[in-house]
């Protein structure tokens, strides 16, 4: 067998594979002899079918199969040995009137080659890296939320501004008949709020749903309907009050601190606020880092210029998809995927140039950290190391989970690299201003 490469241009090449009878005949003969031993053909005893008859029935199929295996194995080996960085897979060139009755065969394959380019990490333009801080207003609001969450309900005879009302919402036409709790500090409509103030158990108030609550999802909850139905819903509902409760805030004492963080971890209101600030800013850091990763990615895509073998890739999409595509459809698919392909190449270049690797031990530690944070959300703050180790082992036995966690860990490593190498400007903002600036 002989394999040669013809370079068309920097991004395209043709590989020619020449196969002679000596390359495949021994293997074909051995397979046909095995077929003969197993063949059951009427008129012949098992194992006594003439070899000529076996060749006539199966020879062409076995030949085609063995030649294709030879091509696949040796072409892949050639690409590896020659260190050819190809995009997609080799595409066989169409040969009219190909004759499988010949002894020697010639095949040609088109290659799309990855471009050569550099990615300077020291960007010309400074990219904003947000440092999100928890300001006094946010910390005080969080303290108030904690006090309300862990406070106790005190029954009242008359509705006040911060009370929680339990009652039934009704509208016969819309089929609404739902018992729910309405928190008055979530009511956005002043007219509705004024209508409720001063009412007593047993009173019924008519409320308009338009702009009733501060968040759209809350309306679906109190009316017992879907979010889709709650959207743009403008009707009047009758609300009959069955309970009036005031939530008396919990005291900021050691009992509450221990309930929140474990025994003697936090010992004062000042330490509570410091802990809230620290935990909040740790969570904000994840959002800030994701924003940084997105912005650096966009910068590299926009500013790293290289050509792609677009003609080859379009044909590859057209011929190798689940369904056959027209040339126009393939061109549209290529246009959709080009940006993603460019970043895959850029990211691969950055990873290779900076020798970023993921070892199994660090992936396992990363998985354990992820598991620990999930357990903390359900109140398990101090899991045993052995328990974490066992769960991580089970998680990493799933290849989909390995892929997902590896991608997350690689993103973390890239963020660390960008923080060190990319030209960044730090901007300190509150979370509220971060949301306004980033998401509008």
pLDDT score at 231: 85
pLDDT score at 68: 94
Asked if pLDDT for residue 217 goes beyond 90, the answer is no
Higher pLDDT, 217 or 20: 20
Buried residues in 95-126 as b, exposed as e (16+ CB within 10 A): eeeeeeeeeebebebbbbbbbeeebeeebeee
Higher pLDDT, 414 or 232: 414
Q: Please, what is the Cα angle at 114 between 111 and 120, to 5 degrees?
A: 175
Q: What average pLDDT does the segment 103-109 reach?
A: 94
- For residue range 128-163, list pLDDT tens digits in order: 999 999 999 999 999 998 998 899 999 999 999 889
Domains and CATH numbers, the chain: 2-113 (3.30.70.1050), 152-248 (3.10.50.30), 266-439 (1.10.3120)
What separation, in Å, do the N-terminal and C-terminal C-alpha atoms of the chain show?
Answer: 63
> Per mean pLDDT, which range of 65-69, 192-196, 337-341, 379-383 is the poorest?
379-383
Strand, helix or coil at 76?
Answer: helix
Asked if pLDDT for residue 304 goes beyond 70, the answer is yes
Asked whether 132 and 281 are in contact (CB, 8 A), the reply is yes
Asked if pLDDT for residue 293 goes beyond 70, the answer is yes
**How many angstroms from the chain centroid is the CA of residue 127?**
24
Q: What average pLDDT does the segment 164-191 reach?
A: 94
DSSP 8-state assignment for residue 232: T
- For residue range 355-414, list pLDDT tens digits in order: 999 999 999 999 998 888 888 767 666 778 888 899 999 999 999 999 999 999 999 999
Task: With cut-offs at 50, 70 and 90, classify the pLDDT of residue 76.
Answer: very high
Percent of the chain at pLDDT > 90 equals: 76
pLDDT score at 375: 80
Asked if pLDDT for residue 40 goes beyond 80, the answer is no
pLDDT score at 381: 62
Asked if pLDDT for residue 309 goes beyond 80, the answer is yes
Question: What stretches of 304-359 show up as alpha helix (H) in DSSP?
Answer: 310-320, 327-353
> Per mean pLDDT, which range of 122-126, 245-249, 367-371, 436-440 is the poorest?
436-440
Asked if pLDDT for residue 44 goes beyond 90, the answer is no
Asked if pLDDT for residue 95 goes beyond 90, the answer is no
pLDDT score at 379: 62
User: How many Cα atoms are found within 13 Å in the side-chain-facing hemisphere of 175?
Assistant: 4
Mean pLDDT over each residue of the chain, to the nearest integer: 92
Helix axis angle, 269-303 to 254-261, nearest 10°: 30
Tell me if the pTM is above 0.85. no
Maximum Cα–Cα distance across the chain: 104
pLDDT score at 415: 96
- For residue range 410-437, list pLDDT tens digits in order: 999 999 999 999 999 999 999 999 999 9
> Distance (Å, rounded) from C-alpha 90 to C-alpha 100?
21
Contacts of 120 (CB under 8 A, 6+ apart): none
Query: Comparing C-alpha atoms, which of 100, 90, 114, 96 is closest to residue 17?
Result: 90
Query: Comparing C-alpha atoms, which of 133, 130, 439, 135 is closest to residue 289?
Result: 130
């Amino acid at each position: 067998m002989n394999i040669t490469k013809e370079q068309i241009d920097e991004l395209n090449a043709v590989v020619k594979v020449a196969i002679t009878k000596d390359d495949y005949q021994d293997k074909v003969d051995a397979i046909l002899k095995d077929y003969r031993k197993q063949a059951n053909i009427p008129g012949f005893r098992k194992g006594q079918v003439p070899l000529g008859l076996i060749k006539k029935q199966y020879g062409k199929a076995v030949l085609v199969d063995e030649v294709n295996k030879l091509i696949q194995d040796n072409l892949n080996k050639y690409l590896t040995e020659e260190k050819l960085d190809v995009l997609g897979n080799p595409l066989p060139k169409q040969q009219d009137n190909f004759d499988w009755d010949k002894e020697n065969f010639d095949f040609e394959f088109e290659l799309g080659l990855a471009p050569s380019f550099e990615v300077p990490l020291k960007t010309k333009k400074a990219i904003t890296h947000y440092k999100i801080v928890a300001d006094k207003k946010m910390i005080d609001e969080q303290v108030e939320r904690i006090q309300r969450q862990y406070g106790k309900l005190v029954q009242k005879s008359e509705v006040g501004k911060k009370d929680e009302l339990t009652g039934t919402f009704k509208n016969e036409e819309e089929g609404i008949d739902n018992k729910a709790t309405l928190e008055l500090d979530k009511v956005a409509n002043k007219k509705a709020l004024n209508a409720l103030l001063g009412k007593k158990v047993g009173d019924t108030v008519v409320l308009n749903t338009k702009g009733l609550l501060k968040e759209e999802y809350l309306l679906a909850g109190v009316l017992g309907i879907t979010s889709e139905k709650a959207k743009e819903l403008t009707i009047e509902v009758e609300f009959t009050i069955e309970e009036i409760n005031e939530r008396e805030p919990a005291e900021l004492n050691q009992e509450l601190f221990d309930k929140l963080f474990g025994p003697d971890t936090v010992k004062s209101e000042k330490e509570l606020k410091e802990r809230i600030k620290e935990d909040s800013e740790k969570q904000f850091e994840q959002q800030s880092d994701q924003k940084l990763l997105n912005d650096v990615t966009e910068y590299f895509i926009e500013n790293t210029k290289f050509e792609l073998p677009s003609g080859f890739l379009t044909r590859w999409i057209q011929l190798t998809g689940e369904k056959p595509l027209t040339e126009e459809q393939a061109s549209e698919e290529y246009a959709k995927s080009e940006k993603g392909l460019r970043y895959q190449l850029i990211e691969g270049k950055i990873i290779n140039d900076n020798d970023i690797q993921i070892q199994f031990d660090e992936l396992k530690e990363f998985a354990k950290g992820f598991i620990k944070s999930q357990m903390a959300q359900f109140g398990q703050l101090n899991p045993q190391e052995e328990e974490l180790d066992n769960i991580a082992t089970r998680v990493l036995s799933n290849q989909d989970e390995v892929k997902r966690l590896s991608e997350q860990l690689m993103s973390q490593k890239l963020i660390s690299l960008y923080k060190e190498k990319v030209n960044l400007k730090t901007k300190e903002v509150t979370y509220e201003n971060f949301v306004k600036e980033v998401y509008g």
